[in-house]
Amino acid sequence: MRSSSKSTSRLILLGAAAAAALSASGIGAIPCAMFDSTGGLYFFGVYDKDYSAGSDPNAWASPSLTLLPSAGRPPFNGANTQCFLTQFYNAMYVLNGDASNPSDVHIYDFAGSKWSTQKIASSGSAPNPSTLVATIDHDTNVFYAYDAGLLYFLSFDGITTSSVATSPSWTLAQSFAPSSDTTYKAVIGAAHNHIHFLNVPGSQPASAYIYVVHYAWWQPAPQSYPSTPSFPVAHGQTASLYRSPADVQPASFAFRPRRRLGNLHRQHQRQRDNRHGPAAGVRRRRVVRGVQHGVPRHARADG
């Protein structure tokens, strides 16, 4: 399924906004840039404050920012802060937003402009908040998290725009079927009640291993997503895309891989050798060896 140009534009703007928020944040803070369900743009954790930029895309080039209430907000100083929109309830969930209480989940109600904190019960089968990689299934309002070779879930059924007195707990779902390599740093894309795992050790380009949420079942073979060019087996970032605000589930997700400079350098080196001969390339190679750099490339995958 094709995402709308409006959704794509919002994704691009979100990336730019996130970069701006990162450059403006205080030392040790991990900010989030987020759209609400109606298209409003927000920045959280920027110099210990949170802002709304409104919902008019024409005003975002020079936005008039509105300061949001601070009561109950997390400090956004966790080692592994992750933010998620619950599209159906128009709220944001923040994992590991407070270094002093890394297991807490902070909830921001966009319509009510207020924060609350959901306590999570300790259990013997919980992922490490500092290393887990999570996503949320928007239909069931359940978090899924990969950590060190295991897949966990945390149900927020009945927890929507504010915290409740009952404390849910993480539950071990099953081992990570696609690979036994516990050093795998997960790249997760969510679409249509399917959780797509990219960059799995031993996988092929333009493919993903899929966990089917409603059946708690691993698809036995990787799913191929032909594209030109094929998206690589690489670490990177994903973003779920909705076709309309009424959608409960994202229809697709975008993937932005990171590449080593060495790969890009070899391409530039061949061009340089064609112009100046190989000797110049030998001298240049000593300068850039071991450096890494992110290069934007885009691929789409439908659930």
Q: What is the pLDDT of residue 88?
A: 86
- Indicate the pTM of the whole model: 0.75
Q: What is the pLDDT of residue 244?
A: 66
Which tens digits make up the pLDDT trace of 157-197? 999 999 999 999 999 999 998 999 998 988 998 877 889 99
With CA atoms as reference, report the closest residue to 250 among 205, 279, 296, 213: 213
Q: What is the pLDDT of residue 285?
A: 36
Q: What is the pLDDT of residue 110?
A: 98
If phi over 0 gives left and psi between -120 and 50 gives alpha, with beta otherwise, what is residue 148? left
The number of residues in the chain equals 303
CB-based burial, 37-63: b 16+ in 10 Å, e otherwise:
beeebbbbbbeebbbbbbeeeeeeeee
Which residue intervals of 119-277 are DSSP H helices? 261-276
| Residue type, position 253, single letter | F
Low-confidence residues of the chain, pLDDT below 70? 1-29, 241-251, 259-303
Distance CA 263, CA 284 (A): 14
